Amino acid sequence: EELGSPNLPHVMSDRRAELAASAAFDMDLTADRRGVSEIYLGCKGIASFVLRCSGGEWGGPVDRALHSSEGAVIASPAWSLSRALTALDDAARRNAIDGLGPSRVPLEDEELLDALARDFDPVAHLEESNALAYRGPEDARSLLTALMYEPVLNLNGLSAGSITGKTIVPHAARAALDLRIPYGTDADSVVAGIERIVAETSPEVVIDGVQLCPPSRTTANSPVARAMVESQRDVGPQPQVWPSAPWWAPFYLFEQVLGLPFASGGVGHAARAHASDEYATIAGLRAHMRQSIAFLHRFARAAEAEG
């Protein structure tokens, strides 16, 4: 997930025959504090990249920072980077990046979205996210639509100069970003659109390390998806079925390389993903083990019935 699995596509493509199967699945602890778990039938994709700007022939100090009094006559790489970031953020908010458009809920997802919205608690979600306010509409359906179907540009990190009181013109500035993209997006067009915006706004800013992680989706009617739903009912409340996860995993390899239906999910509570205090509960792990066994049995019985 973090590195885009750069070698995995080649491995799976080269070993298609060895990886032939009826279906694919991914088990995780997805239950919220109420014990309601989630099943995912796809995920958004990601375009990750780094923007950097250093002093050079275009201007700016070279190799070392400059006293800020020189800012009257010497350009700042930090301001160049800031202008590029502002232009990208503005374009993303207006759906003006090439290859992206307004969110669209596929017709086949409407029923699942309605069911999710009936049970989704925006206040609880905000609390579990450790935030105090949403950035846009706060009703359940709008939030779920944004999480599953809307692109979003994220600024992961930013570095330039000093914040300890030094008065300088920095000689270099860097920013790491990711763009979450919905299913059906032409990722190459999106990357070209990002490059165009940066070139028009701050041509001295360089784009490095672009990584594309394609989105994916599968059907809720496959035996593996039904087994995932039924096994979670065996050990807990009715699960929520998400047509698309807001996060990314390499499920596209199941869909596009191996041509397999898949499902992701599992009971048990875990939270604070990517934080230093990420956790899973002991009770959740025990429930997860029971559900995993139930899933394998249910899928095996479904496979026997079809065979």
Q: Does position 6 have pLDDT exceeding 90, yes or no?
A: no
Average pLDDT (144-158) is 95
Q: Count CB neighbours of 63 within 10 A.
A: 8
Assess whether pLDDT exceeds 70 at residue 3.
Answer: no
| Element holding 302 (H helix, E strand) | helix 282-306
102 pLDDT band, cuts 50/70/90, is confident
Question: What integer pLDDT is reported at residue 181 of this predicted model?
Answer: 93
At 15, the amino acid letter reads R
Mean pLDDT over 95-117 rounds to 90
Output the CA torsion 270→275→276→278 (10° steps): 0
Q: Look at residue 211 in the predicted model and tell me its pLDDT.
A: 87
Could you read off the pLDDT of 209-267 as tens digits, one per residue?
888 889 999 999 999 999 999 999 999 899 999 999 999 988 999 999 999 999 999 99
Render pLDDT for 195-207 as a digit per residue (tens, 0 to 9): 999 999 999 999 9
**What pLDDT is recorded for position 44?**
94
User: Would you give the distance in Å from CA 91 to the centre of its chain?
Assistant: 19
Contacts of residue 244, Cβ cutoff 8 Å, sequence gap at least 6: 40, 41, 42, 43, 44, 109, 148, 149, 182, 183, 215, 217
pLDDT value for 251: 93
pLDDT, residue 222, reads 92
Q: Are strands 38-40 and 240-242 parallel, antiparallel or unpaired?
A: parallel
The whole-number pLDDT of residue 4 equals 60
The predicted pLDDT at position 260 comes to 95
Segment 101-122 shows an average pLDDT of 90
pLDDT-derived band of residue 129, with 50, 70 and 90 as boundaries? confident
Q: How confident is the model at residue 115 (pLDDT cuts 50, 70, 90)?
A: very high
Q: CA 75, CA 302: separation in Å to the nearest integer?
A: 66
DSSP E strands: which ranges in the chain?
A: 24-27, 38-40, 42-43, 45-54, 66-67, 152-160, 168-169, 172-181, 206-213, 216-217, 240-242, 262-266, 270-271, 279-280
Per-residue pLDDT averaged across 166-172, rounded? 95
Indicate if the pLDDT at residue 1 is higher than 70.
no
Q: What share of the chain in percent tops pLDDT 90?
A: 78
Name the CA radius of gyration of the chain, rounded: 23
Q: What pLDDT score does 295 carry?
A: 97
The one-letter amino acid code at 92 reads: A
β-strand partners of 279: 271
- Residue 126 CB burial class (10 angstroms; 0-12, 13-18, ≥19): middle
Position with higher pLDDT, 274 vs 244: 244
pLDDT in tens, 44-76: 999 999 999 999 999 999 999 999 999 999 999
User: Both tokens of residue 68?
Assistant: 């800020």
Whether the per-residue pLDDT at 2 is higher than 70: the answer is no
Contact 244, 182 (CB under 8 A): yes
Angstrom distance (rounded) from CA 302 to CA 307: 9
Query: Rounded to 5 degrees, what are φ and ψ at 98?
Result: -50, 135
pLDDT at position 42 is 95
Quote the mean pLDDT of the chain. Answer: 93
